[in-house]
């Protein structure tokens, strides 16, 4: 049996773990094995003699723990309004986004940048200029051509000449 195996066996036996008794007997026949056993026992005695004692008795610790648990809402007091405010902000943002999306889907003409629908009467009453009807550069959201507001007629030979 190797030294490590022997010492591992002795260590386990010391902990009252099941070991092969025959192997243990064999391990303890060697001086190193007996020395290891003595060292491990001394180590255990040293730890058992540890003089660290609790500074308070169990009752005091339990009372302190209960008092601390009761004070949690107070400790958390400043955090709770922050949490509620953060939740409200998130809800409001999400609600505004949803409302905006719904409005855009249902009435695209009402979206900023799009011309409002006009009645025929209104168009006659205040004809829009040609310039207003020309799509602005970069506007890609207008698939419908602009409604002509006035008609210009040109006479060949009068208003223009071929070859000029």
Partner 1 sequence: MAGLTPEDVFTRHYRDIYRYLVRMSGRPDVADDLSQDVFLRVVRALRNGGPIGHERGWIFSIARNVLADRGREQRRQPSGPAAAPATAATQDLAFGLAEALAGLSESDRDVFLLKEVGGLTYEEISAACACTVEAVRSRLFRTRLSLRKSLADGR
Contact footprint for partner 1 (CB under 8 A): 4, 7-8, 11-12, 15, 17, 36, 39-40, 43-44, 46-56, 58-59, 61-62, 64-65, 68-69
* C-beta of residue 38 within 8 angstroms of C-beta of residue 65: no
Q: Which CB, 75 or 109, lies closer to partner 1?
A: 75
CB of 28 to partner 1, least distance (A): 16
Residues 82, 3: Cα–Cα separation, whole Å? 63
Q: Which CB, 51 or 158, lies closer to partner 1?
A: 51
Strands (E) in 2-160, as ranges, are none
Residues 136, 146: Cα–Cα separation, whole Å? 11
Paired strand residues for 156: 160
CB of 80 to partner 1, least distance (A): 20
Q: Which CB, 14 or 128, lies closer to partner 1?
A: 14
Closest listed residue to residue 15, CA positions, set 39, 35, 36, 44? 44
Q: Which CB, 69 or 139, lies closer to partner 1?
A: 69
CB of 6 to partner 1, least distance (A): 10
């Amino acid at each position: 049996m190797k030294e490590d195996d022997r010492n591992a066996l002795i260590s386990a036996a010391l902990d009252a773990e099941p070991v092969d008794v025959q192997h243990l007997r064999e391990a303890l026949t060697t001086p190193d094995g007996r020395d290891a056993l003595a060292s491990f026992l001394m180590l255990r005695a040293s730890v058992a003699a540890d003089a660290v004692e609790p500074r308070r008795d169990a009752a005091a610790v339990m009372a302190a723990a209960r008092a601390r648990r009761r004070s949690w809402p107070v400790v958390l007091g400043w955090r709770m309004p922050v949490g509620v405010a953060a939740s409200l902000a998130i809800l409001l943002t999400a609600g505004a986004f949803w409302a905006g999306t719904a409005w855009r889907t249902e009435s695209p003409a009402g979206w900023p940048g799009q011309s409002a629908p006009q009645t025929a009467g209104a168009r006659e009453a205040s004809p829009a200029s040609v310039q207003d009807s020309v799509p602005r550069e970069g506007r890609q959201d207008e698939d419908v051509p602009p409604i002509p507001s006035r008609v210009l007629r040109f006479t060949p030979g009068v208003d223009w000449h071929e070859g000029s």
